[in-house]
Amino acid sequence: MDPKPSSLIAIGFSKGFIISGVSAVALAYLTEEVQLSAVALAISTYLSGNTIGGMSGRISATILAGEFGWRNALLMIGIESLILGMIFWKFFPESKFFNPQKTDYHLKVKQMKRLLSDSYMLRLYCTAFLLMGSFVSIYNYLTFRLEAAPFSLSHFFIAFIFLMYIFGVFGTMITSRLAMRFERKDILKSSVALMLAGLLLLMSGNIYIIIFGLGLFTLCFFAAHTMASQMTALCAKDGKSSATSIYWLFYYFGSSFLGSGTGYLLHATSWSVFIITLSFIIILCLILTSPNKSLKIE
């Protein structure tokens, strides 16, 4: 018996809600437990791990679903996740600099209102929304283009397209080094501009140009995301968990809303219109990453 679409949507919503909370707490943990001089590197390393996990998950899920069906693929991934969660629970070190306090929900609401009314932080949140939405859109729907003529690639080969996530690892690590020499706003803006260049290359009918464009697009997305998340965590003088939670909320909203909405656009129009629309979204990100206030953090 096939599950109802509404059930799958509800499960997906719950999963996204929980995962975004994990990421927010992890960034808050790093900013509290790691020396300030090493926070950028720590966040970059954490996001590199996310990148590797996303890459391996997409590859394994595509291959397993193609070989055993999507239900068995979900079962195997679920069992693996449960085992890894138990290992994490057992061996992860306790916080040394966190002082547990009774949660004041009124204060939390005030913090979030303040953060959402801060134009500086709001730019970062909207950038996360737009960048993640564009990234998910490409990885969601490029596979359909590669399956169709003139490429006509098999699902097994398409699965290894997600090896491009390796470039994301380089992107996250590069930013931590560049941040020692350049202003963060300049790194963020340059990453978004190069991301746009990679996106435009995906309009090509040449598979090698598409692979190169996807690699550039992926590297620059993760560089921009790493820089934006670093700035969000470091610029929140208090309420770091609230600041990072809002960032990840916008991030995953971008994945959900833009990632889904652009699919309807592609179905109704063409690949060229799809790419041009995403290009305008990236251009909007360029505007958002050019604030009057300097984003350099000492």
**What is the domain-level CATH number for residue 229?**
1.20.1250.20
Q: Which tokens go with 71?
A: 């239900």
Q: Is the pLDDT of residue 296 over 60?
A: no
Domain-embedded: residue 294: no
Q: Which of 61-65, 177-181, 223-227 has the highest mean pLDDT?
A: 223-227
Domain-embedded: residue 296: no
pLDDT tens for 71-98 read: 888 888 889 889 988 998 888 887 776 6
Domain-embedded: residue 39: yes
CB proximity list for 164: less than 8 A, separation 6 or greater: 55, 211, 214, 215, 218
Domain-embedded: residue 57: yes
How large is the average pLDDT for residues 197-206? Answer: 95
Distance CA 294, CA 298 (A): 11
Distance CA 44, CA 222 (A): 10
Alpha-carbon distances of 29 from 19, 132, 295, rounded to whole Å:
15, 23, 22
Query: CB count, 10 Å around CB of 2?
Result: 7
pLDDT tens for 164-196 read: 878 877 888 888 778 778 888 889 999 999 999
Q: Which of 122-126, 175-179, 250-254 has the highest mean pLDDT?
A: 122-126
Q: Is the pLDDT of residue 1 over 60?
A: no
Q: Is the pLDDT of residue 298 over 50?
A: no
Q: Is 75 helix (H, G, I), strand (E, B) or coil?
A: helix
pLDDT of amino acid 297: 42
Average pLDDT of the chain to the nearest whole number: 83
Domain-embedded: residue 293: no
pLDDT band, very low/low/confident/very high, at 216 (cuts 50, 70, 90): very high
Q: Which tokens go with 90?
A: 């057992």
Domain-embedded: residue 99: no
Q: Which of 69-78, 142-151, 239-248 has the lowest mean pLDDT?
A: 239-248
Alpha-carbon distances of 119 from 114, 150, 245, rounded to whole Å:
10, 46, 17
Domain-embedded: residue 21: yes
- Enter the DSSP assignment of 256: I
Query: b/e per residue, 244-268, with b = 16+ CB within 10 A?
Result: bbbbbbbbbbbbbebbeebbebbee
CB proximity list for 38: less than 8 A, separation 6 or greater: none
Q: Is the pLDDT of residue 118 over 70?
A: yes
Tell me if 123 sits within 8 A of 245, measured CB to CB.
no
pLDDT of amino acid 68: 83
Distance CA 240, CA 33 (A): 13
Structural domain that includes position 44: 5-94+105-288
Query: CB count, 10 Å around CB of 194?
Result: 18
Distance CA 108, CA 82 (A): 31
pLDDT tens for 30-61 read: 777 877 777 777 777 787 777 778 777 777 87
CB proximity list for 44: less than 8 A, separation 6 or greater: 172, 173, 175, 176, 226, 230
Q: Over pLDDT 90: what percentage of the chain? A: 29
User: How many domains does the chain divide into?
Assistant: 1
Q: How far is CA 58 from the centre of its chain?
A: 14
Tell me if 198 sits within 8 A of 215, measured CB to CB.
yes
Domain-embedded: residue 231: yes
